[in-house]
Amino acid sequence: MEHKHTDKATAAGLLVAMGIIYGDIGTSPLYVMQSIIGSAPINETAVLGGLSCIFWTLTLQTTLKYVILILRADNRGEGGIFALFALVRRHAKWLTVPAIIGGATLLADGIITPPVSVASAVEGLRMIKPDIETVPIVLAIITVLFMFQVLGTKMVGRAFGPIMLIWFSMLGFLGIVWIAKDWSILRAFSPHYAIQLLTNPYNGESGFWALGAVFLCTTGAEALYSDLGHCGRGNIRVSWIFVKICLILQYFGQGAWLIHQNGSLLNGRKPIFELMPEWFLLWGIVIATAAAIIASQALISGSFTLVSEAIRLNFWPKVRLNYPSDQKGQLYVPSVNIFLWLGCMGVVLWFRESANMEAAYGLAITLTMLMTTALMAYYLHVKKFDMWWIVGFIVVYVSIEGSFLVANLRKFVHGGYVSLIIAAAIISLMIIWYRAFIIKMRLTEYVKLVDYIEPLKDLSQDMSIPKYATHLVFMSNAARTSEIESKIIYSIFQKRPKRADIYWFVHVDTLDDPYTMEYKVDIIEPDDVIKVTFRLGFRVEQKINLYFRKVVEELVKNGEVDITSRYESLNRQNVIGDFRFVVLEKFLSYDNQLSMFESLIMKAYFFIKDFTPSEDKWFGLDTSAVKVEKVPLVIRPAENIRLKRID
């Protein structure tokens, strides 16, 4: 379902969009042309061919695929590869594969974005002081940036838009100044020069491999889709017109300068800073560094959102999520923040120079784009688009992105292995968590709740058993109203008989819609057995303690339940009865027989689970009123036990 309000563009919305979503793609002029030229002597073929490739990449890949086509696939106003997966996952199980690969590679390759952006900007200081050591400065900036995440970015976020507006205006103005010095550079709009570069030898090898460097100009395209919920489709599409014009002007301005350097070597010179007059250079470096920090901030925020969605889709362990402000989408994930910070520190210390980082950058993100293409093609199929359009979409973008992937594979030995190793580790984690979830769901035993209504009523009235709580609340995985896990029945009647006046069973159903907040109450037995089902979107914070209290207040207000204490002395004083939550945490039982694959999956699952918060903390329950019980997860009971009795 598409929301019309997302198509509206406002002045404030355009400024916000500029500050949030264009950090990565907006800072690419810092390093793209330098990467295309490389260590070879500057020549006209490389400059014109590189510019032509950049223009048509930004047109076909960023503009046509993402801004025009992919933004149509919004999930109640939300975007991103997991939001797209949530739209289509009901239709085919295999779609889990591209979703996991795409999410993991996006997270992994993003670790290089802050170092390459910040390093490229800071290295401009060498034009003022050639012997300056930039690595400590880059490490310091990145460390401060990650430390700042715990406070939230609401206040700083308001400054992002104006800073990026200054940045893009600067790029466009400097580009125009240099284009005016050599209007012939506009020849590069012709695809002829791109074809000429890609089909002829360049620097002693096929020009096709230049695509690995060209691809860096569009690595931030996925962020346009991921931040759809923050900015709205209309604001993104309108602001992109201005951003693309400024980027093209800057690239062509760099091209005009490069052609004037024909035959010489770059030797570490950055074309973007060469365009600046000497008196403006320091200001330009400061603005570039600010833009690089904003690009890094956008990546970090996007990673937090990506992980929070992965948790709700059962792709990621239930790690702690913090919400540092009341701003929509404002999220802080401590474990991911540490992971990203360590990754960025490692990248800076390992590669040291931005040129080395560029050699490793972009390989994994091509896989993300291919996976988005696969999911989008299936989305078009679900929406009943004409099959020929779908086939055309697949052929065009698999060809384009496949070419980028092949060209980027050369980066593997130059550092691309770093992002792929990280991506492989993240993919493994996601597969373990998702497969363990499937195994648990498939083999969890459920029983009919109606069969236990009378036993529960009898237990409630059995005065020989000490009362456990007035209101006993169990967190349940049973989606059907009529069912309950056998483990919960075991906990109530056998592990330690738990007498209560009212038994509550609470189930949380995570929906494919991002921000749905609904609940349903089934009073199975008045004043004895009640089941509450929360229907929460995959981006909604799970504050079950708070939500449950709200539900109880509504039930009391409507006269559907009496929560007054059943102790006579307290009842006369109208004292509210105590509520106690019980959360069952499973552990791997020795009493089972598993296949080797399932055994490895479950052992890895429980090993990882030891490092994650307990279920009660995940559900946001009041720890003073929660009992966490360990129950064995008997996945497949041992059979054919040959045990012989002797006298």
Mean pLDDT, residues 59-86 taken together: 87
Q: Is the pLDDT of residue 136 over 60?
A: yes
The mean of the pLDDT values for the chain is 84
Q: Is 590 left (phi over 0), alpha (psi -120 to 50) or beta?
A: alpha
Question: What pLDDT, in 10s, does the model give residues 191-211?
Answer: 999 999 888 877 767 778 888
Give the residue, 612 or 499, on which the prediction is more confident.
499
Mean pLDDT, residues 528-547 taken together: 83
Question: What pLDDT, in 10s, does the model give residues 236-273?
Answer: 889 999 999 999 999 999 999 999 988 888 887 889 99
Residues 6+ apart with CB under 8 A from 431: 100
- Spatial contact of 292 and 125, defined as CB atoms under 8 Å apart: no
Hey, how many other C-beta atoms are within 10 angstroms of the C-beta on 593?
A: 12
Write out the H or E segment, with its range, that includes residue 524. strand 517-525
Question: What pLDDT, in 10s, does the model give residues 516-529?
Answer: 888 999 888 888 88
Residue 276: which of 497, 155, 125 has the closest Cα? 125
Mean pLDDT, residues 166-179 taken together: 95
Which pLDDT score, from 0 to 100, does residue 224 have?
81
Question: What pLDDT, in 10s, does the model give residues 363-385?
Answer: 888 999 999 999 999 999 988 88
Burial 157-191 (b: 16+ CB within 10 A, else e): beebbebbbebbebbbebbeebbeeeeebeebbee
pLDDT band at residue 24 under the 50/70/90 scheme? confident
Alpha carbon distance 476, 447 (integer Å):
12
- Spatial contact of 571 and 480, defined as CB atoms under 8 Å apart: no
Supply the pTM of this predicted model: 0.84
Alpha helices in 313-412 (DSSP H): 334-351, 354-360, 363-382, 387-408
Which pLDDT score, from 0 to 100, does residue 167 have?
93
Residues 6+ apart with CB under 8 A from 131: none
Q: Is the pLDDT of residue 118 over 60?
A: yes
CA diameter of the chain: 105
Give the residue, 647 or 326, on which the prediction is more confident.
647
Q: Is the pLDDT of residue 333 over 90?
A: no
Mean pLDDT, residues 583-588 taken together: 76
pLDDT band at residue 3 under the 50/70/90 scheme? very low
Which pLDDT score, from 0 to 100, does residue 1 have?
39
Least confident of 330-344, 424-438, 571-585: 571-585
- Spatial contact of 305 and 321, defined as CB atoms under 8 Å apart: no
As separate numbers, helices (DSSP H) first and strands (DSSP E) second, the chain gives 27, 10
DSSP state of 496: S
Residue with tokens 């923040």: 337
Handedness of CA 322, 157, 512, 393 (dihedral sign): negative
Give the tokens for residue 569. Answer: 């002395």
CA 56 to chain centre: 28
Which pLDDT score, from 0 to 100, does residue 4 have?
45
Alpha carbon distance 66, 62 (integer Å):
5
Mean pLDDT, residues 46-53 taken together: 93
Mean pLDDT, residues 584-589 taken together: 74
Hey, how many other C-beta atoms are within 10 angstroms of the C-beta on 262?
A: 11
Residue 8 Cα distances to 4, 41, 222, angstroms: 7, 48, 21
Question: What pLDDT, in 10s, does the model give residues 263-322?
Answer: 888 887 889 999 999 889 999 999 999 888 888 887 887 788 888 888 888 899 888 877
Give the tokens for residue 286. Answer: 């400061």
Highest mean pLDDT among 150-159, 401-410, 510-519: 401-410
Which pLDDT score, from 0 to 100, does residue 628 have?
78
Please state the length of the chain.
647
3 state SS for 19-30: HHCCHHHHCHHH
Paired strand residues for 580 = 472
Residue with tokens 């404002």: 330
- Spatial contact of 202 and 299, defined as CB atoms under 8 Å apart: no
pLDDT band at residue 400 under the 50/70/90 scheme? very high
Q: Is the pLDDT of residue 587 over 80?
A: no
Question: What pLDDT, in 10s, does the model give residues 381-395?
Answer: 988 889 999 999 999
Pairing of strands 529-537, 517-525: antiparallel
Hey, how many other C-beta atoms are within 10 angstroms of the C-beta on 409?
A: 15
Mean pLDDT, residues 103-128 taken together: 86
Mean pLDDT, residues 422-432 taken together: 93
Q: Is the pLDDT of residue 157 over 60?
A: no
Residue with tokens 């688009």: 385
Give the tokens for residue 240. Answer: 């992109």
Alpha carbon distance 241, 244 (integer Å):
5
**221 phi and psi angles, rounded to 5 deg:** -60, -35
Give the tokens for residue 96. Answer: 């889990």
Which pLDDT score, from 0 to 100, does residue 54 have?
95
Which pLDDT score, from 0 to 100, does residue 250 have?
96
Which pLDDT score, from 0 to 100, does residue 624 have?
61
Give the tokens for residue 391. Answer: 């086939």
Residue 218: which of 390, 44, 401 has the closest Cα? 401
Three-state secondary structure call for residue 48: helix
Give the tokens for residue 16. Answer: 């916000």
pLDDT band at residue 2 under the 50/70/90 scheme? very low
Hey, how many other C-beta atoms are within 10 angstroms of the C-beta on 12?
A: 9
Share of the chain above pLDDT 90, in %: 27
Handedness of CA 598, 603, 606, 611 (dihedral sign): negative
Alpha carbon distance 347, 116 (integer Å):
9
Helix, strand, coil % (nearest 5) of the chain? Answer: 65, 10, 25
User: Which one-letter amino acid corresponds to residue 548?
Assistant: F
